[in-house]
Chains A and B, each alone.
Chain A
């Protein structure tokens, strides 16, 4: 069960923000502190591409999907929550998404803006904003895709953070998350080896108790129902985001969990196949889809 401290209005942890602000100049050094994230980026994008292509083939005529082979995100509104230096945001924008990157650290946003300004191809559809995710709820704008990569394990109130992300989505929108499981293996790899022994990542980047297991995310979305559009038909008529599990796995159309495995020899990450044994013991990607409007009310 995710810890819930619902009383607080923000999920931002001040010491986490200070930590990343200190490191912000390092964001675009591909061989430095954040090299793991740079190497992880292609795999995250691969997962986003695969999942969006898969759902597009389910819903659109084949030719329409084939036609946007490269720019799979063309015309979509995408929000990157906790964009850091903009590693993921830039990639999303290159694939055609109208991308908004937000981060709670002002220096991160400054770095991200500077780096994006170097690439004229990005100027048209990439904007950055120094804002917490909660503040966007006041704005009526909702997104087709919300991504929040390697953020969940740094926020104070994950349940509330997930709710915020969920509410920022349009109906049938996609939520992509990546985070770390709370297992002995993940402690060994991400804290003991990466931070203490090999010192590839600054000490204090991760906090073991904040790691979140895939089963906890599944549990959350099995219970989570979007607030009803019409206030009078209350929650009874709206299905939860994940209706049921089969052998502990969600269905392909509702949610998916995929492990990411680091290969130190080739210095690259691999997207583990669906259901690969033990693959989600450390870093993993999570996708869940907001129910469509009709779907949500009728079922």
Chain B
């Protein structure tokens, strides 16, 4: 599980302006004629657009749903987005098969430009300190090799554009862009509905107000839903990297790589044969220093970060930080010399894939080195203008539905939860929310329910809150687990990872819950692929009894190693204590 999703770029409205606005606009707004809607979605990011598409695509509900989507930005820019081939936007999302199936069901997937997406057929994840490695591949999942991969890397803009194209042919949804939400109030009668005041002077009265408006959600502040969370003191650097195509004896560029460095995970996500996307979570100071230096320095550091031992990477980071602080950012020549020296000192063979500077082997068309598949292709350059960074946060609201004064509101996507991008689940969770909320609204309408009522929305919270919480805390724990270099922890996590790597069925289960297998909401209509996968899983379970014996061996040696380590540390501590005593004497 390595990939990433970057938070939806929903309209970010400043909370301050919202508050001021509500003070400046007294009741006179309420007396004006309000336009009435059944659903108003605030935020034109992928999640908001997907919800509008999902609701609009249900043709049988056409007469029961009047939908509006409000976005502060200019959506026509996204609608007309047409980048030259070969260049890729830096914001990519790994859409799980579950997300893809959902997008297919609502009819927007066919508007995605497939040539600009790439399947992921294998994932390699390893420990930055111990190099313990886990591999997830298609065959382990029991999926046929010809199928569409475990996930598909798609530019966020490509996804947004497809949703906009789909909404163009969906008459029930009114798209209102370039309209800022000035304030949100509610009718001043008991049980009154929310009123959304736009800067254009329009007032939208709505049965259900959906907050798809990102981490600083104005809808959330209107509904007075509190949230808890923390910032990670980590910045994610993103960019699009150019590299040489993989050689003739190698698999195509469909493997995602992720290395857990103590400063944060670095992920390499293939988007085409010669371009891949980077998400590198690291310390804010290093992110600033790297962004300030030449792009080629970043390219060299990316190569080094996937290849060199942790001790060398720490040294290189210190060099870059020193240079940045002294006001003279490190040059390409300097960093090349440093990396080359580190490679020699670690005696990395010049024919090995682990050397990125010393050798030109990667450019030669000959037989690839034995370890060629262990690390991603060597990055040659960074596409101009694609380097960016953003801070990472963990945030989960205490509820998804507003109550009391803020009733008739519901939160989806980043407005409800912000997650560490290390497992690439952010937008997938948001699309999961949308799928579930659209289903709840549909069911409620069939039963004559009021879609803004607590009772109609309760199944949405019940289904999504725990599901999201589970994945969010798993990612949070992973981040914290890999943040440390403490020897016993490193040893334990490495043993854990290696055990996991041996247990195929457990791996398959993890991938299934991460959405690699498309899941339908109708439990009896499993498609044959899923059924085959389940069957394989059961069969593998039997096989695993044998593996378990082997694993027990691994655990034993791991624990022995751990014990030895502890003893060593004790001995060290004892000897240093002795030395100090001697000094005292």
A contacts with B: majority SS:
helix
What's the Cα separation between A231 and B458 when bound, in Å? Answer: 53
Q: Are A39 and B60 in contact (CB under 8 A)?
A: no
Stretch at the interface among A11-19, A87-95, A190-198, A283-291: A87-95
Contact A115 B191 (CB under 8 A): yes
Q: How far is the CA of A38 from the CA of B459 in the complex (A)?
A: 13
Contacts of A268 in B (CB 8 A): 458-459
Contact of A70 with B454 at beta-carbon distance under 8 Å, contacts A91-B448, A118-B189 already known: no
Interface residue A30 (Cβ < 8 Å from any Cβ of B): yes
Which of chain B's residues have a CB closer than 8 A to the CB of A132? Answer: none
> Once bound together, how far apart are the Cα atoms of A70 and B441, in whole Å?
13
Instruction: Indicate whether A49 reaches chain B with its CB closer than 8 angstroms.
Output: yes
Q: Which residues of A contact B60 (CB under 8 A)?
A: 69-70
Q: Are A70 and B446 in contact (CB under 8 A)?
A: yes
Partner of A267, one of B189, B450, B458: B458
Q: Given the known A-B contacts A90-B450, A91-B447, are A38 and B192 also in contact in the complex, defined by CB atoms under 8 Å?
A: no
Cβ-closest chain B residue relative to A70: B60
For chain A, the count of residues having a C-beta within 8 Å of the partner chain is 27
State whether the Cβ of A42 lies closer than 8 Å to any Cβ in chain B: yes
Judge whether A70 and B61 touch: CB under 8 Å: yes
Tell whether, in the assembled complex, residue A70 and residue B63 are in contact, meaning their CB atoms are under 8 Å apart: yes
Q: Which residue of B lies closest to A30 (CB)?
A: B454
Q: How far is the CA of A46 from the CA of B443 in the complex (A)?
A: 10
Contact present for B193 and A70 (CB under 8 Å): no
A119 in contact with B207 given A42-B444, A91-B449, A95-B448 (CB within 8 Å): yes
A37 to chain B, nearest CB (A): 10
Q: Which residues of chain A are within 8 angstroms of B454 by Cβ–Cβ distance?
A: 30-31, 38
Contact with B along A85-120 (1 / 0, CB 8 A): 000001111110000000000000000001100111
With the chains together, A25 CA to B189 CA distance in Å? 14
Is the Cβ of A118 less than 8 Å from the Cβ of B191? yes
Q: Which residues of B contact A91 (CB under 8 A)?
A: 447-449
A148 to B38, CA, bound (A): 29
Contact present for B192 and A46 (CB under 8 Å):
no
Query: B64: CB under 8 A from chain A?
Result: yes
Binary contact readout A105-141 vs B (1 if CB under 8 angstroms, 0 otherwise):
0000000001100111000000000000000000000
Which residues of chain A have C-beta atoms less than 8 A from B448's C-beta? Answer: 45, 90-95
Q: What total of chain B residues lie within 8 Å of the partner, measured CB to CB?
A: 28
User: Which of chain A's residues have a CB closer than 8 A to the CB of B579?
Assistant: none
**For the complex, is A299 an interface residue (Cβ under 8 Å from B)?**
no
Question: Of residues 254 to 289 in A, which have CB atoms within 8 Å of B's CB atoms?
Answer: 266-268
Is A186 on the interface with B (CB-CB < 8 A)?
A: no
Question: Known contacts A45-B448, A118-B191; is A30 also within 8 Å of B455 by CB?
Answer: yes
Instruction: List, in ascending order, chain A residues with CB within 8 A of B63's CB.
Output: 70-71
Given A70-B64, A70-B446, are A41 and B455 neighbors across the interface (CB < 8 Å)? Answer: yes
Q: Is A28 an interface residue (CB 8 A)?
A: yes
Contacts of A95 in B (CB 8 A): 448
**Chain A, range 53-107, C-beta contacts under 8 Å to B:** 69-71, 90-95
Q: Are B446 and A30 in contact (CB under 8 A)?
A: no
B462: Cβ under 8 A from any A Cβ: yes
B445 at interface by CB-CB < 8 Å:
yes
Minimal beta-carbon separation of A111 from chain B (angstroms): 10
Query: What is the chain A residue whose CB lies nearest that of B455?
Result: A38
| CB-contact partner of A42 in B190, B403, B455, under 8 A | B455
By a CB distance below 8 angstroms, the chain A residues around B450 are 90, 94, 119
Chain A residues within 8 Å of B458, by CB: 267-268
Cα-based distance from A95 to B450 in the complex (angstroms) = 11
Distance (whole angstroms) from the CB of A150 to the closest CB of chain B:
16
Residues of B within 8 A of A39 (CB): 455
Q: Do residues A30 and B64 form an inter-chain contact, with CB atoms below 8 A?
A: no
> Is B36 on the interface with A (CB-CB < 8 A)?
yes
Determine if A45 and B192 form an interchain contact, defined as CB atoms under 8 angstroms apart. Answer: no
Residue from A28, A70, A93 in contact with B445 in the complex, judged by beta carbons closer than 8 Å:
A70
Q: Which chain A residues border B36 with CB–CB below 8 Å?
A: 120
Q: A-B contact count, CB below 8 Å?
A: 62
Closest to B193 in A: A118
Q: Which of B207, B445, B447, B454 has the most CB of A within 10 A?
A: B447
A30 touches B453 (CB 8 A): yes
Contacts of B64 in A (CB 8 A): 70, 94
Q: Which residues of B contact A70 (CB under 8 A)?
A: 60-61, 63-64, 445-446
Given contacts A118-B191, A118-B192, A119-B207, contact A45 B447 (CB under 8 A): yes
Min CB–CB distance A129 → chain B (angstroms): 20
Among the listed B189, B190, B207, B449, which residue makes an inter-chain contact with A45, where contact means beta carbons less than 8 Å apart? Answer: B449
Complex Cα–Cα for A249 and B61 (A): 37
Smallest CB-CB separation from B187: which chain A residue? A118
Determine the residue in chain B with the shortest Cβ distance to A89: B448
Q: Is the CB of A28 within 8 A of B447?
A: no
What's the least CB distance linking B177 to chain A, in Å?
27
B453 contact set on A, CB distance < 8 A: 30, 38
Give the residues in chain B near A266, CB-CB below 8 Å: 459, 462
Residues of B within 8 A of A49 (CB): 446-447
**A46, B458: Cα distance in complex, Å:** 17
Question: Assuming A70-B64, A118-B189, A119-B207, is B449 touching A41 (CB within 8 A)?
Answer: yes
Q: How far is the CA of A39 from the CA of B450 in the complex (A)?
A: 12
Among residues of B, the one whose C-beta sits closest to the C-beta of A122 is B450
Give min CB distance, A85 to chain B, whole Å.
11
Query: Closest A-chain residue to B190, C-beta based?
Result: A114
Closest to A265 in B: B462
Which residues from chain B contact A46 at a C-beta distance below 8 Å? 447
Closest to B62 in A: A70
**Structural contact, B449 and A42, CB atoms closer than 8 A:** yes
Taken together as a complex, chains A and B put the C-alpha atoms of A174 and B207 apart, in Å, by 31
Contact with B along A20-51 (1 / 0, CB 8 A): 00000000101100000011011001100100
Residue of B nearest to A40 (CB): B455
Q: Report A166-219 residues with CB < 8 Å from chain B CB.
A: none
Q: From A69, which residue of chain B is reached at the shortest CB distance?
A: B60
Name the residue on B nearest A117 (C-beta). Answer: B189
A293 to B210, CA, bound (A): 50
> 8 Å CB contacts to A: which residues of B191-213?
191-193, 207
Over the window 31-70 of chain B, the binary record of Cβ atoms lying under 8 Å from chain A Cβ atoms (1 yes, 0 no) is 0000010000000000000000000000011011000000
Cα(A113)–Cα(B455), bound, Å: 20
What per-residue 1/0 map shows which CB atoms of B457-497 lie under 8 Å from chain A?
A: 01100100000000000000000000000000000000000
With a CB–CB cut-off of 8 A, which chain B residues contact A92? 448
A237 to chain B, nearest CB (A): 38
Give the distance to chain B from A170, nearest Cβ to Cβ, in Å. 21
Q: B67 to chain A: closest CB distance in Å?
A: 14
Q: For B443, list chain A residues within 8 Å (CB).
A: 42
Least Cβ–Cβ distance between A212 and chain B, in angstroms: 25
Please name the residue on chain B nearest to A95 by beta carbon: B448
Residue of A nearest to B443 (CB): A42
Q: Which residues of B contact A30 (CB under 8 A)?
A: 453-455
Contacts of B444 in A (CB 8 A): 42
Query: Given the complex, which residues of B lie within 8 Å of A31, measured CB to CB?
Result: 403, 454
The CA-CA distance from A28 to B403 in the complex, in Å, is 13
Interface residues of A in 219-273 (CB under 8 A from B): 266-268
- Contacts A46-B447, A115-B191, A118-B189 supplied; 8 other A-B pairs, CB < 8 Å: A41-B455, A42-B443, A42-B449, A42-B456, A45-B448, A45-B449, A118-B187, A120-B36
Closest 9 CB pairs of A and B: A91-B448, A45-B447, A94-B448, A30-B454, A95-B448, A42-B447, A38-B455, A69-B60, A45-B448
8 contacts between A and B (CB under 8 A): A30-B455, A31-B403, A38-B454, A94-B64, A94-B450, A114-B190, A118-B192, A266-B462
Chain B residues at the A interface, C-beta cutoff of 8 Å:
36, 60-61, 63-64, 187, 189-193, 207, 403, 443-450, 453-456, 458-459, 462
Which A positions have Cβ atoms within 8 angstroms of B?
28, 30-31, 38-39, 41-42, 45-46, 49, 69-71, 90-95, 114-115, 118-120, 266-268
